[in-house]
Amino acid sequence: MIADKMVSFVKNSSVIRAMFEEGKIMADKYGAENVYDFSLGNPNVPAPKEVKEAILDILDNEDPVLVHGYMSNSGYEDVRVAIAEHINKTFDENVNPNNIIMTVGAAGGMNVIMKTLLNPGDEVLTFTPYFGEYRSYVSNYDGVLVEIAPNTDTFQPNLEDLEKKITKKTKALIVNTPNNPTGVVYSEETIIKLADILRKKEKELGIDIYLISDEPYRELAYDGVKVPYLTKYYENTIVGYSYSKSLSLPGERIGYLLIPDSVADAADMIAAANVANRILGYVNAPSLIQRVVGRCQDAKVDVPFYDRNRETLYNGLIEAGFSCIKPEGAFYLFVKSPVADEKEFCAAAKKHNILIVPGSSFGCAGFVRIAYCVAHETIVNALPGFRELAKEYAL
């Protein structure tokens, strides 16, 4: 008999993952070119050439015992030096390698930091809509995920509701900008206000509130939009970074946590996160790809590719009659469902071989998420189906 907790995890298992599996079955049945799978944030852009060059060079020229061996739980020292230098150069920061722990992607990093922070019953806030896996990351350590109501007109964070939902039990706030699923980038003005609220509440309630910045989409911003680096605005900020999207390496499982010295109890926090990385069974982040990202700090994924997809899909949907805010980052559109039950709309889309994800998976019913990290032709070829759908719903 499986554990009670797993029964509910299995029951509520990721809709996105289920669709991804279904998409593969549909591709076998109808031919991959006739299925428009917008379900998963799996980048269609290849990793930059520097990645392959680094892999080959490391295998040819580095000591194989080092390349494939165990290491400190926090990762290779020289890789963390390279990352710290990159952060300092890019964001004018002053972090050192000890502040960095290499993780098994952002997902691994989030689990490590939740295990490090949470006592049973501790509350973790997040702005709705949010990446649905946060529910499991928090519940894994018996925390309680508290949803902050959405601003459905802009999808910028609802700061009034944030203030209301902070209690003595609040341990952390997870933010994700550029955002999955809305593509919204939080403005500097918003971040300043948000930091003021957190500081005020910390003082009022006599607690530490950690801001956890989940940043897999940091580099994916369009139209010259700047993504504020949150450690600059709030002392108790911990960054969870990932190379899954920024270098198109999601299957390699690589990222890092940054716990700056400014964070309350930083030394204890860093030591505990290292132990959490080990005892969760990750032990350390995968070795070869760690060495690769250490060398690829300046490599860049093809952002204009995603931008072209964004323009084609956004303009096509708006012309068809759908409504949606124009995203400034990441690679998702969060489109208003033409019917209140967005699952019904997703089912109707499936009849046109279009796979999209219900907003309820992100805590926000009435909307659907369309991931545009796909081949450009997939978007072009799916647009007639979207136009048909618009007609069916008389948009």
The binding site for ligand PLP (CB under 6 A) comprises 41, 105-107, 131, 176, 180, 214, 216, 242, 244, 250, 255
Closer residue to ligand PLP (CB): 112 or 349 = 112
Least separation, in Å, of the C-beta of 13 and ligand PLP? 16
SS (H, E, C) the chain: CCCHHHHHHHHCCCHHHHHHHHHHHHHHHHCHHHCEECCCCCCCCCCCHHHHHHHHHHHHHCCHHHHHCCCCCCCCHHHHHHHHHHHHHHHCCCCCHHHEEEECHHHHHHHHHHHHHCCCCCEEEEECCCCCCHHHHHHCCCCEEEEECCCCCCCCCCHHHHHHHCCCCEEEEEECCCCCCCCCCCCHHHHHHHHHHHHHHHHHHCCCCEEEEEECCCCCECCCCCCCCHHHCCCCEEEEEECCCCCCCHHHCCEEEECCCCCCCHHHHHHHHHHHHHHCCCCCCCHHHHHHHHHCCCCCCCHHHHHHHHHHHHHHHHHHCCCECCCCECCEEEEECCCCCHHHHHHHHHCCCEECEEHHHHCCCCEEEEECCCCHHHHHHHHHHHHHHHHHCCC
Torsion of CA 222, 226, 231, 233, to 10 degrees: -140
Beta strands 255-258 and 170-175: pairing type? unpaired
Tokens encoding 339:
């019917």
Closer residue to ligand PLP (CB): 289 or 383 = 289
Closer residue to ligand PLP (CB): 250 or 327 = 250
Closer residue to ligand PLP (CB): 45 or 389 = 45
Least separation, in Å, of the C-beta of 106 and ligand PLP? 3
**Residue of closest CB approach to ligand PLP:** 105
Least separation, in Å, of the C-beta of 367 and ligand PLP? 16
Least separation, in Å, of the C-beta of 199 and ligand PLP? 25
Closer residue to ligand PLP (CB): 73 or 176 = 176
Closer residue to ligand PLP (CB): 214 or 328 = 214
Least separation, in Å, of the C-beta of 225 and ligand PLP? 18
CA 289, CA 380: separation in Å to the nearest integer? Answer: 34
Least separation, in Å, of the C-beta of 125 and ligand PLP? 15
Least separation, in Å, of the C-beta of 21 and ligand PLP? 16
Closer residue to ligand PLP (CB): 107 or 349 = 107
Strand partners, 211: 173, 237
Closer residue to ligand PLP (CB): 364 or 389 = 364
> Which of 338, 313, 312 lies closest to 323, judged by CA?
338
Least separation, in Å, of the C-beta of 271 and ligand PLP? 23
Least separation, in Å, of the C-beta of 231 and ligand PLP? 18
The position carrying tokens 């960095």 is 100
Closer residue to ligand PLP (CB): 179 or 353 = 179
CA angle in degrees (0–180, nearest 5) for 303-308-310: 95
Closer residue to ligand PLP (CB): 23 or 255 = 255
Least separation, in Å, of the C-beta of 240 and ligand PLP? 7
CB 257 within 8 A of CB 271: no
